Amino acid sequence: MPLPYYEPFDYPEGRLNDVGAPQWSAGSTGFELAVSNSAALTAPGGYPVAQGRGVRRAPSGTARRSVLAFQTVPAEDGREIYVSLLLQVVAPPPGTQLVAFLDNNSTSQSSPQAGLFLTPDGRVGIGKKSSSPGFVTDTPLGPGVHLIVFRYRFQPGNDRVDLWVDPPASSYEAANPPTSLGFVTGGSDPASLDFFQLYTTPQSGGIQFLDELRLGRTWAEAVPFGGPPVPARLGFLTGPADGYTDRPLPPVIVQIQTAAGTAVALEGVPVTLTLAPEGAAVSGTLTRVTDVNGRATFDDLQISTPGTWQWLAAAGGVGQNWSPAQSQPFTVRAPPAFAELTLVLAEAEPDFIRVIGGSPVPGQFVQLLGSTDPTAPGTNWLLVNYGTTDPSGRIQLLAPRSPALNQAYYRLRTGDSSTKLEPPSIGIAPHSLMVAPGEPATFEVIANGPRLHYLWLSNGVPLPAQTNATLHIPGAAPVHEAEYQVIVANVVNSVTSAPARLRVTNTAPWIVTDPEDLAVTAGDTALFTVSALGTLPLTYQWYRNGTPLPGATSTALVINEVRTNDAGSYQVRVENRWGSAWSRPATLTVTEVPTAPPVTNLMGFAAGVTGGTGGSVTNVTTFAQLRGACRLAGPWIIRVHGPIVVTDDYCYITQPNKTIVGVGTNAGIYGGGLRVAATNIIIANLFFNATNHSNADGITIDTSSHGTGKYVWVDHCTFYDCRDGSLDITKGADYVTVSWCKFFYAPVPDGVVQHQFVNLIASSDDDTGTYHVTFHHNWYGPYCRERMPSVRFGRVHVFNNYYDCIGNNYCIRTRINAEVLVENNYFVGVQNPWERYVTTGNPGRLLARGNITRDCSWRVWTRGVVLIDGTDELTDPTLTTDLYPYTLTPTEHVPYYVKTYAGAGRYPYVTE
């Protein structure tokens, strides 16, 4: 959401993540954070009148979060972000609790960058990268409603968080804030702030009401005055969004605002848009007059020139002295040239449909789309198969058949290069049941994929009337005893569940699968599960060290925010009317959160790299200075201060023996990237945002006329929204280590395809080389989609990396002639932690060991993908007998170390 942001919680009553979507998302839903009429609060005098409803915060013992993503605020000394909200303590918490926080990622944070806390005696506190408040007010909050404000300030050294409680009305919308009640500082400063989260801890108890949330970059934006609003500036209320050339762009709405960002309803003010940079042909109405709400809506704009642009909005008439507004960048591309091909024939075979079509163009890429509804809009048709037309312009493609589909329709299309298939997969299969005679029996499947259809089987025979995700038998009898399966299908493919047997009998329970021993780090989540059979209903009771756990009465025992005193022996008793059974004890081992800084010395295939060590030192602040320094002969240490905008596609590093290192927390390379074609290079502590062109990489290591990139160490860098790859290694580059880096991307609007691909090794099946590369302790975060890494030909070691890029296609891929060793990595909620992709040549190999895969899925999502268990034998000595010395972090410690220390602006380049 753009800043400033105002949230009146004007939603229907219900769970915040449900009724507040899409503004509020991620986290976990629950009525612990719920929009409620009862939580609507009255603002203090002089403050704007409260609107909408409020949020009732009522921790129940389960951690819950609602996440608001706002416009990224990059780290730059002096930048600030303010948060204000109304708070009423109905009942204080039983212990000190984290209520809300700011951070640079959307995951759960026990030690956020800026945390707002509430104590059992009703006092308010703040923390900086801490699980407890470093400053707490002297006096508790009294009854009634209170205005709470906290601020995060980027500054030299450690960043700072300040707190205000009930600031005087005279300070509302002031240019500068009053003196804060107190502040805290702390290390591990972020490269940006991107997310605000409301939070309930796993500790139950207490009720608070929250309302009128505001986020802004100034005090005036977050703490506005409630009197008649005074217009002072323009702001972009919506848009712009990416679009296509010579087509109407998504509407752009410009709002008259106060200095604090509050909307001003002033009708009849002319607002004019201009495009920056100049040079593109623009059509549509560029001057609009504001409506009764003070908004100017531009809904007929078109741009004829592809590129990345920004709108500048300026007011005329009474607003000629107001501050203008500048939009966020947006990209306009040439539209895809879709064309329907002639479908000559569709022949039905027992297992597939043969579709034959053609066009006048040989060698043309063609997609086969399918749908069970011929009238469905084009966006609802699924990609079934693809290929290229033969020399005569004809093409033959096969579409799978399934008895779960009564009908299917097909069409051939060109103009889109996508090869991503979305076949169904089974997440939770039906399980065997035992019920007493006359009792109901229900089988259920939980499946993934679009446009799903179901067909149940009994002993392999279809049940034509059973076409839902559940199969319900109202009163089971011996005649119903059988093996049941379900076919889950869409037009792309189908999958059949394993047989689940129904027995109609009276039998005591027995354990099928015991809970397993667990080793976790304090603050993590522990999950024990048990599988049992016996006549339903079965009841479950979990025990710790022989003592029953209250409320632990299901097949799974979840322990959130594990503490060291949770360690012990866990087992479960399963019972029904005919007897009981005990599982074997499972041991939970809890280790303390690591406190010592990690070892960040150079490891991997780039061992021995010295960069510019021993050479001269130069400081650069502009692209011209950086480019000149990279061309100097001899060893140099190039210190980058602040953000540098690279106006070319790349800044080339063509001379060996260079260290390019950012100073402090805000050094970065924007626009273009770095291209390395030299030996003995170190790149460290830099933020990369390569957006100059569609093929821009943050860093490219390859070959040029000056040489080949070899012996290169990239350490503690952050890569954000780079348009092609974040860091690619191609054209024979060799002996590279990538360590302690963070990779992430911006959200992509619906219908827009972007290249969120991270690390490519070898650019094609002809780009041969040895490619000895190490990736360790890197964070592959939000919206990373593929190539983490994708390896052709290389000998690649991937260890101790953290993956939480939910919504991805795959993480690690082995391809032609590659060998990949995957060790002690931590995968959370991702698809295909590793896979093989088969094209030409010898299929790649992959050996995986010591990894943790939590809530991950596996799917053949495009042609050529082979799902593998990671047990290939590696044959190259560089990954076996001759592998370099290295130290593995215990896998359970990877999330803490990587999320705490990966990326630019972190230890050891910035210390507390």
Phi, psi of 33 (to 5 degrees): -125, 100
Cα gap 671→623, rounded to integer Å: 11
Q: Which residue has the tokens 């809970």?
A: 515
Token pair, residue 696, equals 């821009």
Q: Which residue has the tokens 């096969």?
A: 398
403, 471 contact by CB (below 8 A): no
DSSP state of 12: -
Cα gap 633→621, rounded to integer Å: 20
Cα gap 50→47, rounded to integer Å: 8
Which of 787, 795, 815, 836 is the catalytic position?
787
Percent helix, strand, coil in the chain, to 5, is 5, 45, 50
Token pair, residue 615, equals 């050479």
DSSP state of 880: T
SS3 call for 600: coil
Q: How far is CA 865 from the centre of its chain?
A: 23
531, 500 contact by CB (below 8 A): no
Prior bond of 12 cis (ω within 30°): no
Return the C-alpha torsion angle 372, 377, 380, 383, nearest 10. 80
35, 80 contact by CB (below 8 A): no
Token pair, residue 87, equals 């708070």
774, 606 contact by CB (below 8 A): yes
Cα gap 547→545, rounded to integer Å: 6
| Single-letter amino acid code for the residue at 112 | P
Phi, psi of 773 (to 5 degrees): -135, 140
Active-site residue, 394 included:
no
Positive/negative CA dihedral, 21, 24, 25, 29:
negative
Q: Which residue has the tokens 């995700």?
A: 469
Cα gap 60→15, rounded to integer Å: 14
Instruction: Round the CA-based radius of gyration of the chain to a whole number and report it.
Output: 30
Instruction: Give the DSSP per-residue string, 421-461.
Output: ----EEEE----EEE-TTS-EEEE-EEESSS-EEEEEETTE
- Exposed e or buried b per residue across 582-621, where buried means at least 16 C-beta atoms within 10 angstroms of its C-beta: ebebbebebbebeeeebebebbbbbbebebbeebeeeebe
DSSP state of 871: B
Element (H, E) at 302: strand 302-303
Q: Which residues are catalytic?
A: 787
